[in-house]
């Protein structure tokens, strides 16, 4: 392995605390809380959502302000220590396990309205649930973020961010107005830059930093200490009009099919029906803009599989439209599913376990992703059925989530943000989970074989072609860098970023020229 000398190169160049282009901030009266391996808190703070990965840093800095982040970065660089960063701790892969200093942003979690900028200021440690609650209860607005309320917004936004309201309102990152980022410049000085959408539109150099945070992936450019959000083009001082309003009430539904009644013909028809519906309603401006749905086939060992859905209950003919959707998916299948529907207030529904799943703190998992540009062809459906129904894998915790995409997400051009997957009809999310003490090998191998079979015609990965369009960076997968599993000749970076890859590399070179902020799949420096 190549020796890591980037920290040593920067030791003599580290700047002073006053090297910042952000608005002045009063220095913290106390330094960041530091936790080391002898501290009883260490075991909790080195574990995240995926217990497959446990961090072992020399120290954890629990920061509470931008100034503390700057100081922590300056100290780490001066000492030649590699940095890892965490906001919500939901990283799918072990990107933080090789950091010597872990900068934990979880205590930076405020959500406020910034009247001077005319935008909502959100710190990176706030969870999605905290953001939804603060925005809705105080101002009656929201962001179209993910379905899992415990995810930290810090990494969610910079990877793109999508969820139950994305077909209606677009991605989380589509509402990014400005970003405050701690970086290390070419002179080796720790600086903080605020970059805005206007900087990008007016072609100012720092605009590239804003654009890079609209889908360029966390851990690539610096440490975000604040996001500002508002609807593009909105103006004024009334915060109730500067972000979307969610539906007042929603239908939340679970449709369940027993495996013993579903043969290959019935399964094929279900998948085709679901994919055809997603194709038909891929554009914005239809009666189904507010319908978010996940078709979730599981291995036969689970006994049954489901489809979950959320739909605006306040729209005209909402109940009829929802039932017509269920009928369209079930047409010609010959199996009558069980359908359970509740009508819930929207904020309450953001914590509904039918969408987010049980938030157990005790499991390990491996996941993969793909974007689908049209309904699945027969060869892919056959591979899915075979690995769920015929391959012996007695794990009911595994599943394929076929997530309806499109709507407002597809109304933005592929280059307008760093998130390039703007003409997809479904996002495919392959996942399997197991108890941390269990042998992970059979679980990981089953998932790898499953994925390889579905994309066998294109080297084991979803290339950008008529059918598929790469992968989602927020569901990172290190197998994409391994020729054993990716024989396509197309890199993981190209699968994540498509035609935006070169511009992101240029942003990396401009704002992190010494590669201070890096992980296993971070962008290279030119």
Residuewise pLDDT in 10s, the chain (526 residues): 333 333 333 333 334 333 444 544 444 458 999 999 999 999 999 998 899 999 999 999 999 999 999 999 999 999 999 999 999 999 999 997 779 999 999 999 999 999 999 999 999 999 999 999 999 999 999 999 999 999 999 999 999 999 999 999 999 999 999 999 999 999 999 999 999 999 999 999 999 999 999 999 999 999 999 999 999 999 989 999 999 999 999 999 999 999 999 999 999 999 999 999 999 999 999 999 999 999 999 999 999 999 999 999 999 999 999 999 999 999 999 999 999 999 999 999 998 765 554 455 668 999 999 999 999 999 999 999 999 999 899 999 999 999 999 999 999 999 999 999 999 999 999 999 999 999 999 999 999 999 999 999 999 999 999 999 999 999 999 999 999 999 999 999 999 999 999 999 999 999 999 999 999 999 999 8
pTM: 0.94
Which residues neighbour 456 within 8 Å (Cβ) at sequence distance 6 or greater?
383
Strand 426-434 with 364-372, pairing: antiparallel
Contact between 486 and 476 under an 8 Å Cβ cutoff? The reply is: no
236 CB burial (10 A radius; 0-12, 13-18, 19+): exposed
In angstroms, rounded to a whole number, what is the distance separating the alpha carbons of residues 474 and 495? Answer: 12
Q: What angle do CA 472, 476, 480 make, to 5 degrees?
A: 95
pLDDT at 24: 43
In angstroms, rounded to a whole number, what is the distance separating the alpha carbons of residues 107 and 127? Answer: 11
In angstroms, rounded to a whole number, what is the distance separating the alpha carbons of residues 203 and 405? Answer: 31
Contact between 415 and 434 under an 8 Å Cβ cutoff? The reply is: no
Which phi and psi (to 5°) does residue 66 adopt?
Answer: -60, -45
Which phi and psi (to 5°) does residue 387 adopt?
Answer: -80, -20
pLDDT at 374: 97
In angstroms, rounded to a whole number, what is the distance separating the alpha carbons of residues 205 and 381? Answer: 46
399 CB burial (10 A radius; 0-12, 13-18, 19+): buried
pLDDT at 96: 78
Which residues neighbour 49 within 8 Å (Cβ) at sequence distance 6 or greater?
88, 89, 90, 91, 150
Count of other CB atoms within 10 angstroms of residue 136: 19
Contact between 450 and 382 under an 8 Å Cβ cutoff? The reply is: no
Beta strands (DSSP E) in 297-335 are 304-312
């Amino acid at each position: 392995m190549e020796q890591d000398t980037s920290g040593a190169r920067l030791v003599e160049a580290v700047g002073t605390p006053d090297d910042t282009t952000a608005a002045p901030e009063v220095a913290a009266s106390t330094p960041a809380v530091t936790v080391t391996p002898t501290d009883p808190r260490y075991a909790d703070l080195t574990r995240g959502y995926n217990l497959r990965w446990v961090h072992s840093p020399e120290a954890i800095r629990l920061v509470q302000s931008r100034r503390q982040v700057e100081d922590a970065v300056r100290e780490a660089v001066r000492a030649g220590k590699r940095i890892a960063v965490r906001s919500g701790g939901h990283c799918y892969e072990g990107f933080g396990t090789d950091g010597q200093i872990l900068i934990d942003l979880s205590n930076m979690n405020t959500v406020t309205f910034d009247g001077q900028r005319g935008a909502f200021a959100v710190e990176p440690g706030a969870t999605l649930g905290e953001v939804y609650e603060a925005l809705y209860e105080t101002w009656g607005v929201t962001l179209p973020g993910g379905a899992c309320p415990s995810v930290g917004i810090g990494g969610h936004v910079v990877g793109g961010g999508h969820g139950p309201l994305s077909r209606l309102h677009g991605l989380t990152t589509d509402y990014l107005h400005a970003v405050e980022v701690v970086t290390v410049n070419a002179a080796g000085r720790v600086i903080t830059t605020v970059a805005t959408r206007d900087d990008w539109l007016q072609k100012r150099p720092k605009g590239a930093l804003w654009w890079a945070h609209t889908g360029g992936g966390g851990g690539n450019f610096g440490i975000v200490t604040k996001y500002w959000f508002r609807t593009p083009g909105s103006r004024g001082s009334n915060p109730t009009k500067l972000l979307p309003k969610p539906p007042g009430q929603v239908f939340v539904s679970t449709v369940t099919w027993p495996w013993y009644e579903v043969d290959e013909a019935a399964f094929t028809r279900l998948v085709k029906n679901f994919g055809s519906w997603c194709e038909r309603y891929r554009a914005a401006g239809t009666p189904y803009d507010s319908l978010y749905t996940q078709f979730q086939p599981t291995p036969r060992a689970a006994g049954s599989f489901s489809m979950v859905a959320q739909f605006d209950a306040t729209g005209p003919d909402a109940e009829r439209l929802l039932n017509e959707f269920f009928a369209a998916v079930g047409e010609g299948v010959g199996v009558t599913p069980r359908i359970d529907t509740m009508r819930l207030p929207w904020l309450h529904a953001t914590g509904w376990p039918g969408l987010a799943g049980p938030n157990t703190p005790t499991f390990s998992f491996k996941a993969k992703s793909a974007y689908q540009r049209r309904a699945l062809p027969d060869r892919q459906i056959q591979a899915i059925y075979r690995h769920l129904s015929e391959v012996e894998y007695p794990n009911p915790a595994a599943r394929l989530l076929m997530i309806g995409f499109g709507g407002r997400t597809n109304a933005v051009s592929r280059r307008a943000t760093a998130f390039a997957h703007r003409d997809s009809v479904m996002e495919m999310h392959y996942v399997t989970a197991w108890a941390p003490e269990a042998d992970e090998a059979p679980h990981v191998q089953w998932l790898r074989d499953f994925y390889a079979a579905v994309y066998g015609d294109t080297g084991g990965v979803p290339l950008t072609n008529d059918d598929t369009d790469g992968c989602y960076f927020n569901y990172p997968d290190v197998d994409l860098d391994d020729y054993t599993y990716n024989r396509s000749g197309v890199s993981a970076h190209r699968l994540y970023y498509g035609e935006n890859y070169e511009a992101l590399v240029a942003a990396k070179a401009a704002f992190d020229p010494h590669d201070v902020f890096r992980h296993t799949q971070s962008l290279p420096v030119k």
